[in-house]
Amino acid sequence: MTVRTRFAPSPTGYLHVGGARTALFNWLFARKHGGDFVLRVEDTDAARNTEEARQAIFDGLNWLGLDWNEGPERGGNFGPYYQSERREIYDAWFAKLVAAGRVYEDGGAWRFRFDRKPVTMHDLVCGEVTIDYRDESNTPDMVVKRSDGSYVFHFVNVVDDLEMEITHVIRGEDHLMNTPKHLQLIEAFGGKAPQYAHIPLILNPDGSKMSKRDAGAAVGDYPRQGFLSAAVVNFLALLGWNPKTEQEIFSLAELAELFTLENVNRAPARFDLEKCKWMNQQHLLGISVDEFAAAAKPFVAEAGLTVPDNYAAVIAAVKDKVRLFSEVPAAVDFLLKEDFDDDPEAVAKVRASATSAGLLGGLAQALATLPEWSADAAKAALTDVAVATGAKPGQLMFPLRVALTGRAHGPDLGDVLNLLGKDRCVKRVRNFATKLC
């Protein structure tokens, strides 16, 4: 039996991280078992569907690397893959229920007649769940066709799963109570039910339900903020799934090899955007300087910074200091322009020492007389100035960093000296010393 999973989003808004994680788990399970991952679009709500939302879903899945074997833009043997194009299929399946006497008209709508018995489902994550349909007051017969002739979610969802021969339905826990209804429909059709796995919900760090307005909810925001898709996939995979190892950083291929439904947690997952940023930094450490520089360049250009000839060297100096590509412009601006902002706290810390201005003034003069420029030569001059004035070299290191960069932290001071060059370093140290007076 070929494993077949599916992701069935509604194009009524952007791709939410909850939907992305559902797609990811389905993709991982299909890839783990050499099966097919199907994308179908639940677009029967014509009033709310938009082309922009549809494209956002496709773009989000493609950016995450979750390629589908069948569906829109791919085709397949079980199409159409838009529900809005499957009306004749739904009519044919509805006729089966009519012929079997399992539906009846009620005020223009059609209701499915439940079999009044307990229905037990065996969920691959949640275990055994039973709904007792003997009490009609708690489980009234379900509308499957509205008075306007359109079919409800429960009906088309089941028909599509049967038609497309879906073997495993992996979806959010909020659908758990829908499944016994679906099992009754499948039984009435004489079909074979897929196996179900309901994965835990994603909550905010404070335990509240994650809404569309919460930070980190929209997948489309991640590339704009400078995340790597591999890091976001890695982060989403660990929201509700445990690899049972101490390892936290995984590639998509590694996740597909390790993923099992047995290791999906029952407890809700807590979303932590700071953890996602940390994970992104770990992935950034694993890519080359050239890859990093190419990915960061649009962010540098958008910030209005001129990309210099030594751009790769500039990027190499800050590659290990940032968590996101969007942080690169602020990390390199002092290397690319002269009118950067100083950190007031760093300046105040330098000014608090009465000797800083004199030391920096002497250092500027010493740097200006160096015949050959290098970071090592500049540091040797710094040591000479400190010794000559009875100070320790360390007392000049911090003031020099602030003079050159305007901040307390950043790239290695040797890299800064080399990248700025003699003239710019001398000018900045001299100007900063004057500013302190």
The catalytic residues are: 212
CB 228 within 8 A of CB 294: no
3-state secondary structure 266-324: CCCEECCHHHHHHHHHHHHHCCCHHHHHHHHHHHHHHCCCCCCCCHHHHHHHHCCCCCC
What are the DSSP calls for 209-260, one per residue? BPPTTSTT-BTTHHHHHT--HHHHHHHHHTSSB--SSS-----HHHHHHH--
80 prior amide bond cis, ω within 30: yes
Compute, in degrees rounded to 10, the torsion defined by CA atoms 342, 285, 56, 275. Answer: -80
Of 201, 198, 170, give the one whose Cα is nearest residue 271: 201
CB 26 within 8 A of CB 5: yes
**Cβ neighbours, 10 Å, residue 373:** 16
CB 252 within 8 A of CB 23: no
- How many Å apart are CA 101 and CA 165, to the nearest integer? 25
- How many Å apart are CA 409 and CA 322, to the nearest integer? 12
Cα of 81 vs its chain's centroid, Å: 26
- How many Å apart are CA 388 and CA 179, to the nearest integer? 81
Helix (H) or strand (E) run with residue 435 in it: helix 413-436
